[in-house]
Every structure is written in C-alpha cells, then in structure tokens.
Amino acid sequence: MAAAGDGPWLDDAAGRLVRPFTVSNGRTRPTIALDLLSHVMATGATPLGYLGLEHAQALDLCRLPVSVAEVAAHLKLPAVVTKVLLSDLVDCGALTTKPPEFHHNPTDRALLEAVLDGLRRQL
C-alpha cells in the first residue's frame, strides 16, 4: 500500500518502487558544481519542456532558499541524484544557486574538536 501523498513511488512493505537513478535517467553527474551546503532558490521562471515528478517536487521545495542537502532529505533521494535534478532546473532557468558561505575557518581546530566531542556524546 502506498504511503499518503507518495503516489506509486513508495510502498510500505517494499520501500521505493523506482530506483533512485531512474529518476535522473541514469545520470550521475550534474552539469554544474553543487556542494551539499549550496543554496538553491526558485526564480519564478516556468521550466520549458517536460520535467519529471521529482523535478516538480524539488522546485516546490525551493520556493525559499534551501540547501542541496535539505532537498535531498525531503525527496528521500541520494545527494548525487538530487544534484542532477537541481542542475537540470538551474540549466532551464527555474533555479538559481549560491555557493555556501563560511563565516569561520571550516578547518578551525576548536570547531573540529567540538564536533568530535558532540559525536562522542551521541555514541
């Protein structure tokens, strides 16, 4: 039985009925460089041509700026597949992208030690 709102793509017992890479037509490389922390946002332009259900869902999620990782989590798709879908939407002018901004040194020793400490507390 399909979960509410998921249509034929998910089945409670079997899980996803369509392989994730089928969504991207087997493509594993996006046409643009996207980081998991990159932000994407809808431009308001209507994409030309046919886009799949997942493209429409991704575009709907991007009404406000959102990270690539968040889109992947909401779509329940691997990050690489999500990057392909989002790059399709950027290519057709439906999305804009902004690289992640770091307001600190991402290799700052104190930050890395704090992350490691937090992870140890979770285990």
Give the DSSP H/E element, type plus range, for residue 39.
Answer: strand 39-42
**pLDDT for the residue 108:** 74
In a domain, 95, yes or no: yes
In a domain, 72, yes or no: yes
In a domain, 33, yes or no: yes
Closest to 76 in 3D by CA, of 85, 89, 63, 64: 85
**pLDDT for the residue 12:** 52
Confidence of residue 26 (pLDDT cuts 50, 70, 90): low
**pLDDT for the residue 87:** 92
53 contacts: CB under 8 Å, gap ≥ 6: 7, 9
In a domain, 5, yes or no: no
In a domain, 14, yes or no: no
**pLDDT for the residue 46:** 85
Convert the pLDDT of each residue in 36-79 to its tens digit: 889 999 999 988 777 888 889 999 999 999 999 999 999 988 88
In a domain, 28, yes or no: yes
**pLDDT for the residue 77:** 87
In a domain, 84, yes or no: yes
The count of domains in the chain is 1
In a domain, 11, yes or no: no
Q: What is the pTM of this model?
A: 0.65
Which range marks the domain in which residue 45 is found? Answer: 22-121
Mean pLDDT of 2-18: 47
Q: How many other C-beta atoms are found inside a 10 Å radius of the C-beta of residue 16?
A: 14
Question: CATH no. for residue 73?
Answer: 1.10.10
Convert the pLDDT of each residue in 72-123 to its tens digit: 999 988 888 899 999 999 998 999 999 887 666 666 788 788 888 888 887 7
Q: Report the distance separating Cα 48 and Cα 50, nearest Å.
A: 7
**pLDDT for the residue 64:** 94
